[in-house]
Amino acid sequence: MKYLRSLIQEYSIYSLYFAPRGKERLLFLGDQIGRRHLYFEDKLIGVIGDAGSGKSSLIRGMFPGLELTNDDDRLDVRKIMQARDLEESFANATTLHIDMRFQTAFVQMHEIVDFVNRAMEHGRRVVVEHFDLLYPALEIPADIMIGIGEEIIVVRPSIFGPLPQNVYDVVHVSLKYRKMAHTVEDMTIQILEDEFHVDHKIFFSSDIKNGFLLRFTEAVDIDLEKLAERIDRRLCENLPVHYHDDGHIKIGDTVMRCSGPRLHMRNTSEITDFKLIKEFIWDPKTETHCLVGVLGPTDEDFHKLNSFRYDSADLR
Protein backbone atom coordinates (compact mmCIF):
# COMPACT_ATOMS: atom_id res chain seq x y z
CA MET A 1 0.00 0.00 0.00
CA LYS A 2 2.79 2.47 0.89
CA TYR A 3 4.58 1.63 -2.37
CA LEU A 4 1.41 2.23 -4.37
CA ARG A 5 0.81 5.54 -2.60
CA SER A 6 4.37 6.65 -3.33
CA LEU A 7 3.83 5.93 -7.02
CA ILE A 8 0.62 7.95 -7.08
CA GLN A 9 2.43 10.77 -5.29
CA GLU A 10 5.22 10.69 -7.88
CA TYR A 11 2.76 11.00 -10.74
CA SER A 12 0.78 13.87 -9.20
CA ILE A 13 2.74 17.12 -8.95
CA TYR A 14 -0.18 19.32 -8.02
CA SER A 15 -3.86 19.82 -8.83
CA LEU A 16 -5.53 23.17 -9.51
CA TYR A 17 -9.14 24.19 -8.95
CA PHE A 18 -10.94 27.49 -9.28
CA ALA A 19 -11.43 29.04 -5.85
CA PRO A 20 -15.15 29.83 -6.05
CA ARG A 21 -16.80 32.83 -4.45
CA GLY A 22 -19.56 31.93 -2.01
CA LYS A 23 -19.81 29.66 1.00
CA GLU A 24 -22.00 27.01 -0.61
CA ARG A 25 -19.70 26.58 -3.61
CA LEU A 26 -16.64 26.36 -1.34
CA LEU A 27 -18.34 23.70 0.78
CA PHE A 28 -19.20 21.69 -2.33
CA LEU A 29 -15.67 21.96 -3.71
CA GLY A 30 -14.19 21.02 -0.33
CA ASP A 31 -16.30 17.86 -0.37
CA GLN A 32 -15.07 17.01 -3.87
CA ILE A 33 -11.41 17.64 -2.97
CA GLY A 34 -11.76 15.43 0.10
CA ARG A 35 -13.22 12.59 -1.97
CA ARG A 36 -10.58 12.85 -4.69
CA HIS A 37 -7.40 13.53 -2.77
CA LEU A 38 -7.60 12.38 0.85
CA TYR A 39 -6.34 8.98 1.92
CA PHE A 40 -7.52 7.25 5.07
CA GLU A 41 -3.89 7.16 6.31
CA ASP A 42 -3.38 10.93 5.98
CA LYS A 43 -2.75 12.30 9.45
CA LEU A 44 -1.37 15.81 8.85
CA ILE A 45 -3.32 18.15 6.59
CA GLY A 46 -1.91 21.63 5.99
CA VAL A 47 -4.20 24.45 4.83
CA ILE A 48 -2.53 27.63 3.61
CA GLY A 49 -3.95 31.03 2.71
CA ASP A 50 -4.66 34.53 3.96
CA ALA A 51 -7.55 35.58 6.18
CA GLY A 52 -10.80 35.82 4.26
CA SER A 53 -9.72 33.46 1.48
CA GLY A 54 -12.31 30.83 2.42
CA LYS A 55 -10.16 28.31 4.28
CA SER A 56 -12.78 27.59 6.95
CA SER A 57 -15.54 26.86 4.44
CA LEU A 58 -13.21 24.65 2.43
CA ILE A 59 -12.23 22.72 5.57
CA ARG A 60 -15.87 22.26 6.56
CA GLY A 61 -16.55 20.83 3.11
CA MET A 62 -13.61 18.42 3.36
CA PHE A 63 -14.37 17.39 6.95
CA PRO A 64 -18.11 17.68 7.66
CA GLY A 65 -18.87 18.05 11.35
CA LEU A 66 -15.33 19.06 12.31
CA GLU A 67 -15.27 21.56 15.19
CA LEU A 68 -13.12 24.51 14.19
CA THR A 69 -11.07 26.49 16.68
CA ASN A 70 -12.61 29.68 15.37
CA ASP A 71 -15.14 30.89 12.86
CA ASP A 72 -16.14 34.32 11.61
CA ASP A 73 -18.28 35.12 14.65
CA ARG A 74 -16.71 33.48 17.70
CA LEU A 75 -13.72 31.76 19.25
CA ASP A 76 -13.98 28.43 21.01
CA VAL A 77 -11.68 28.88 24.01
CA ARG A 78 -11.92 25.17 24.85
CA LYS A 79 -10.62 24.28 21.40
CA ILE A 80 -7.88 26.92 21.52
CA MET A 81 -6.58 25.49 24.80
CA GLN A 82 -6.71 21.90 23.55
CA ALA A 83 -2.91 21.83 23.26
CA ARG A 84 -2.74 21.85 27.07
CA ASP A 85 -5.41 19.21 27.60
CA LEU A 86 -4.23 16.37 25.40
CA GLU A 87 -6.18 13.48 26.82
CA GLU A 88 -9.55 15.26 26.64
CA SER A 89 -8.86 16.36 23.06
CA PHE A 90 -7.95 12.83 21.98
CA ALA A 91 -10.96 11.34 23.71
CA ASN A 92 -13.51 13.58 22.01
CA ALA A 93 -12.50 13.52 18.35
CA THR A 94 -10.64 11.55 15.69
CA THR A 95 -9.91 14.71 13.66
CA LEU A 96 -8.59 17.87 15.32
CA HIS A 97 -8.33 21.42 14.02
CA ILE A 98 -5.75 24.12 14.75
CA ASP A 99 -5.65 27.70 13.50
CA MET A 100 -2.04 28.77 13.99
CA ARG A 101 -2.72 32.50 14.01
CA PHE A 102 -5.11 32.14 16.92
CA GLN A 103 -3.34 29.27 18.63
CA THR A 104 0.00 31.09 18.98
CA ALA A 105 -1.75 33.95 20.78
CA PHE A 106 -2.65 31.62 23.65
CA VAL A 107 -0.04 28.85 23.83
CA GLN A 108 3.65 28.47 23.07
CA MET A 109 4.90 27.08 19.77
CA HIS A 110 6.61 24.11 21.45
CA GLU A 111 3.27 23.17 23.04
CA ILE A 112 1.58 23.16 19.64
CA VAL A 113 4.38 21.05 18.14
CA ASP A 114 4.08 18.57 21.00
CA PHE A 115 0.31 18.48 20.64
CA VAL A 116 0.46 17.75 16.89
CA ASN A 117 3.09 15.03 17.35
CA ARG A 118 1.17 13.41 20.21
CA ALA A 119 -2.09 13.56 18.26
CA MET A 120 -0.57 11.73 15.29
CA GLU A 121 1.03 9.18 17.63
CA HIS A 122 -2.46 8.51 19.00
CA GLY A 123 -3.75 7.94 15.46
CA ARG A 124 -5.58 11.27 15.24
CA ARG A 125 -5.78 13.41 12.12
CA VAL A 126 -4.78 17.06 12.53
CA VAL A 127 -5.96 19.83 10.19
CA VAL A 128 -3.69 22.86 10.54
CA GLU A 129 -4.74 26.26 9.17
CA HIS A 130 -1.78 28.50 8.28
CA PHE A 131 0.43 25.42 8.15
CA ASP A 132 3.26 27.57 6.81
CA LEU A 133 3.57 29.10 10.31
CA LEU A 134 3.90 25.70 12.01
CA TYR A 135 6.22 23.92 9.59
CA PRO A 136 9.53 25.63 10.58
CA ALA A 137 9.07 24.39 14.16
CA LEU A 138 7.37 21.07 13.39
CA GLU A 139 9.82 20.11 10.61
CA ILE A 140 7.43 17.42 9.34
CA PRO A 141 5.88 17.79 5.87
CA ALA A 142 2.13 17.53 5.66
CA ASP A 143 0.67 14.44 4.02
CA ILE A 144 -1.33 16.82 1.86
CA MET A 145 -1.36 20.62 1.57
CA ILE A 146 -4.18 22.79 0.26
CA GLY A 147 -3.42 26.39 -0.66
CA ILE A 148 -6.23 28.81 -1.45
CA GLY A 149 -5.84 32.12 -3.27
CA GLU A 150 -7.33 32.89 -6.66
CA GLU A 151 -7.12 29.16 -7.25
CA ILE A 152 -6.96 26.16 -4.93
CA ILE A 153 -3.71 24.20 -5.12
CA VAL A 154 -3.67 20.61 -3.84
CA VAL A 155 -0.20 19.09 -3.40
CA ARG A 156 1.35 16.03 -1.79
CA PRO A 157 4.84 17.17 -0.75
CA SER A 158 7.77 14.86 -1.32
CA ILE A 159 11.42 15.18 -0.36
CA PHE A 160 11.70 17.56 -3.32
CA GLY A 161 8.97 19.91 -2.08
CA PRO A 162 7.05 22.04 -2.40
CA LEU A 163 7.61 23.71 0.95
CA PRO A 164 4.66 25.39 2.69
CA GLN A 165 6.19 28.83 2.15
CA ASN A 166 6.33 28.19 -1.60
CA VAL A 167 2.60 27.47 -1.65
CA TYR A 168 1.88 30.52 0.50
CA ASP A 169 3.88 32.78 -1.83
CA VAL A 170 1.71 31.70 -4.77
CA VAL A 171 -1.71 31.97 -3.10
CA HIS A 172 -0.88 35.19 -1.25
CA VAL A 173 -0.06 37.00 -4.49
CA SER A 174 -3.02 35.62 -6.42
CA LEU A 175 -5.72 36.28 -3.79
CA LYS A 176 -6.00 39.94 -4.76
CA TYR A 177 -7.27 38.94 -8.22
CA ARG A 178 -10.04 36.89 -6.65
CA LYS A 179 -11.00 39.81 -4.38
CA MET A 180 -10.95 42.27 -7.27
CA ALA A 181 -12.99 39.95 -9.47
CA HIS A 182 -15.58 39.35 -6.78
CA THR A 183 -15.93 43.07 -6.03
CA VAL A 184 -16.46 44.09 -9.65
CA GLU A 185 -18.72 41.06 -10.20
CA ASP A 186 -21.06 42.18 -7.41
CA MET A 187 -21.01 45.72 -8.76
CA THR A 188 -21.85 44.45 -12.27
CA ILE A 189 -24.76 42.39 -10.95
CA GLN A 190 -26.11 45.39 -9.06
CA ILE A 191 -25.92 47.57 -12.21
CA LEU A 192 -27.56 44.86 -14.33
CA GLU A 193 -30.47 44.55 -11.91
CA ASP A 194 -31.01 48.21 -10.95
CA GLU A 195 -30.15 50.04 -14.16
CA PHE A 196 -30.66 47.47 -16.93
CA HIS A 197 -33.59 45.75 -15.18
CA VAL A 198 -32.25 42.24 -15.70
CA ASP A 199 -33.95 39.57 -13.57
CA HIS A 200 -31.33 37.86 -11.36
CA LYS A 201 -33.15 34.56 -11.84
CA ILE A 202 -31.96 34.23 -15.44
CA PHE A 203 -28.22 34.25 -14.71
CA PHE A 204 -25.77 32.72 -12.25
CA SER A 205 -22.10 33.09 -11.36
CA SER A 206 -19.32 30.83 -12.58
CA ASP A 207 -15.52 31.09 -12.60
CA ILE A 208 -12.55 31.91 -14.81
CA LYS A 209 -8.98 32.92 -13.98
CA ASN A 210 -8.45 36.59 -13.17
CA GLY A 211 -12.06 37.54 -13.71
CA PHE A 212 -15.72 36.66 -13.35
CA LEU A 213 -18.26 34.86 -15.47
CA LEU A 214 -22.03 35.34 -15.48
CA ARG A 215 -23.97 32.62 -17.28
CA PHE A 216 -27.35 33.63 -18.71
CA THR A 217 -29.86 30.86 -19.25
CA GLU A 218 -31.61 32.86 -21.97
CA ALA A 219 -30.60 35.50 -24.50
CA VAL A 220 -30.81 39.11 -23.27
CA ASP A 221 -30.61 42.39 -25.14
CA ILE A 222 -28.03 44.47 -23.25
CA ASP A 223 -25.92 47.32 -24.59
CA LEU A 224 -22.55 45.98 -23.43
CA GLU A 225 -20.73 49.18 -24.43
CA LYS A 226 -23.01 51.14 -22.12
CA LEU A 227 -22.65 48.52 -19.36
CA ALA A 228 -18.85 48.66 -19.61
CA GLU A 229 -18.88 52.46 -19.39
CA ARG A 230 -21.19 52.36 -16.37
CA ILE A 231 -18.94 49.85 -14.55
CA ASP A 232 -15.83 51.93 -15.28
CA ARG A 233 -17.49 55.08 -13.94
CA ARG A 234 -18.46 53.39 -10.70
CA LEU A 235 -14.97 51.98 -10.23
CA CYS A 236 -13.56 55.50 -10.60
CA GLU A 237 -15.85 56.85 -7.85
CA ASN A 238 -13.51 55.45 -5.14
CA LEU A 239 -16.39 53.83 -3.28
CA PRO A 240 -15.69 52.07 0.03
CA VAL A 241 -16.61 48.38 0.14
CA HIS A 242 -17.77 46.88 3.46
CA TYR A 243 -19.09 43.62 4.85
CA HIS A 244 -22.75 44.22 5.79
CA ASP A 245 -23.96 40.81 6.95
CA ASP A 246 -23.63 37.15 5.97
CA GLY A 247 -25.65 37.70 2.81
CA HIS A 248 -24.86 41.29 1.82
CA ILE A 249 -22.09 43.80 1.19
CA LYS A 250 -22.20 47.58 1.01
CA ILE A 251 -20.56 49.44 -1.87
CA GLY A 252 -20.75 53.16 -1.21
CA ASP A 253 -24.27 53.69 0.14
CA THR A 254 -25.74 50.68 -1.68
CA VAL A 255 -26.43 47.38 0.09
CA MET A 256 -26.53 44.39 -2.24
CA ARG A 257 -26.75 40.61 -2.09
CA CYS A 258 -23.46 38.72 -1.95
CA SER A 259 -22.62 35.05 -1.40
CA GLY A 260 -19.09 35.84 -0.15
CA PRO A 261 -19.32 39.14 1.75
CA ARG A 262 -15.86 38.88 3.34
CA LEU A 263 -13.99 38.49 0.06
CA HIS A 264 -13.63 41.99 -1.41
CA MET A 265 -11.26 44.85 -1.90
CA ARG A 266 -11.71 47.71 0.55
CA ASN A 267 -12.30 50.34 -2.12
CA THR A 268 -13.26 50.29 -5.79
CA SER A 269 -10.12 52.33 -6.56
CA GLU A 270 -8.06 49.21 -5.76
CA ILE A 271 -9.50 47.39 -8.78
CA THR A 272 -7.13 47.83 -11.72
CA ASP A 273 -6.99 46.82 -15.38
CA PHE A 274 -10.61 45.67 -15.59
CA LYS A 275 -12.10 44.91 -18.98
CA LEU A 276 -15.61 43.75 -19.89
CA ILE A 277 -15.66 41.57 -23.01
CA LYS A 278 -18.27 43.31 -25.15
CA GLU A 279 -19.96 40.24 -26.55
CA PHE A 280 -21.92 37.34 -25.13
CA ILE A 281 -20.04 34.08 -25.61
CA TRP A 282 -22.16 31.01 -26.29
CA ASP A 283 -21.20 27.89 -24.33
CA PRO A 284 -22.71 24.85 -26.09
CA LYS A 285 -21.91 22.50 -23.20
CA THR A 286 -24.02 24.38 -20.69
CA GLU A 287 -26.26 26.11 -23.24
CA THR A 288 -25.64 29.47 -21.61
CA HIS A 289 -24.75 32.94 -22.85
CA CYS A 290 -21.61 34.04 -21.00
CA LEU A 291 -20.87 37.59 -19.89
CA VAL A 292 -17.16 37.83 -19.07
CA GLY A 293 -15.14 40.36 -17.09
CA VAL A 294 -11.35 40.04 -16.88
CA LEU A 295 -8.52 41.66 -14.93
CA GLY A 296 -5.05 42.43 -16.22
CA PRO A 297 -3.63 41.97 -19.73
CA THR A 298 -5.80 39.61 -21.77
CA ASP A 299 -5.50 37.88 -25.09
CA GLU A 300 -8.11 38.90 -27.63
CA ASP A 301 -8.92 35.21 -28.09
CA PHE A 302 -11.33 34.36 -25.26
CA HIS A 303 -10.53 30.66 -25.71
CA LYS A 304 -7.20 31.37 -23.97
CA LEU A 305 -8.59 32.97 -20.82
CA ASN A 306 -8.05 29.79 -18.79
CA SER A 307 -4.55 29.18 -20.12
CA PHE A 308 -1.93 28.27 -17.51
CA ARG A 309 -0.26 31.29 -15.92
CA TYR A 310 1.79 29.78 -13.12
CA ASP A 311 5.23 28.57 -14.10
CA SER A 312 6.11 25.19 -12.63
CA ALA A 313 9.03 26.87 -10.85
CA ASP A 314 6.52 28.64 -8.58
CA LEU A 315 5.92 25.42 -6.66
CA ARG A 316 9.47 24.11 -6.40
Do 155 and 187 sit in the same domain of this protein?
no
Span 235-289, pLDDT tens digits: 999 999 999 998 899 999 999 988 888 889 999 999 999 999 999 999 999 999 9
Is 182:256 a contact under the CB 8 Å cutoff?
Answer: no
Do 299 and 185 sit in the same domain of this protein?
yes
Determine the structural domain holding residue 196 and report its residue range. Answer: 176-312
Do 155 and 6 sit in the same domain of this protein?
yes
Residue 282 lies in a domain: yes
Residue 252 lies in a domain: yes
Do 101 and 25 sit in the same domain of this protein?
yes
Residue 167 lies in a domain: no
> What is the value of pTM for the model shown?
0.84
Residue 56 lies in a domain: yes
- CA pair distance 138, 116, nearest whole angstrom: 8
Strands (E), the chain: 15-18, 44-48, 95-99, 125-129, 144-148, 151-155, 203-208, 211-216, 241-245, 248-251, 254-257, 274-276, 281-283, 288-295
**pLDDT band with cut points at 50, 70 and 90 for residue 72:** low
Predicted local distance difference test score (pLDDT) of residue 36: 93
Mean predicted lDDT score pLDDT of the chain:
86
CA proximity to 63, closest of 25, 26, 34 = 34
Residue 170 lies in a domain: no
CA proximity to 62, closest of 116, 13, 125 = 125
The average pLDDT across 122-140 equals 95
How many domains, in total, are found in the chain? 2
Assess whether pLDDT exceeds 50 at residue 34: yes
Assess whether pLDDT exceeds 70 at residue 297: no
Respond yes or no on whether the N-terminal peptide bond of residue 20 is cis (omega within 30° of 0).
no
**pLDDT band with cut points at 50, 70 and 90 for residue 85:** low
Strand pairing of 125-129 and 44-48?
parallel
What amino acid is encoded at 120 in this protein? Answer: M
Do 191 and 126 sit in the same domain of this protein?
no
Residue 253 lies in a domain: yes
Is 180:270 a contact under the CB 8 Å cutoff?
Answer: yes
Do 209 and 148 sit in the same domain of this protein?
no
Instruction: For residue 293, give the CATH number of its domain.
Output: 3.30.980.10
Do 196 and 267 sit in the same domain of this protein?
yes
Assess whether pLDDT exceeds 80 at residue 206: yes
Is 57:28 a contact under the CB 8 Å cutoff?
Answer: no
Residues across the chain = 316
Predicted local distance difference test score (pLDDT) of residue 202: 95
Do 23 and 151 sit in the same domain of this protein?
yes
Sign of CA dihedral 264, 266, 267, 270: negative
Assess whether pLDDT exceeds 60 at residue 92: yes
CB atoms within 10 A of CB 142: 25
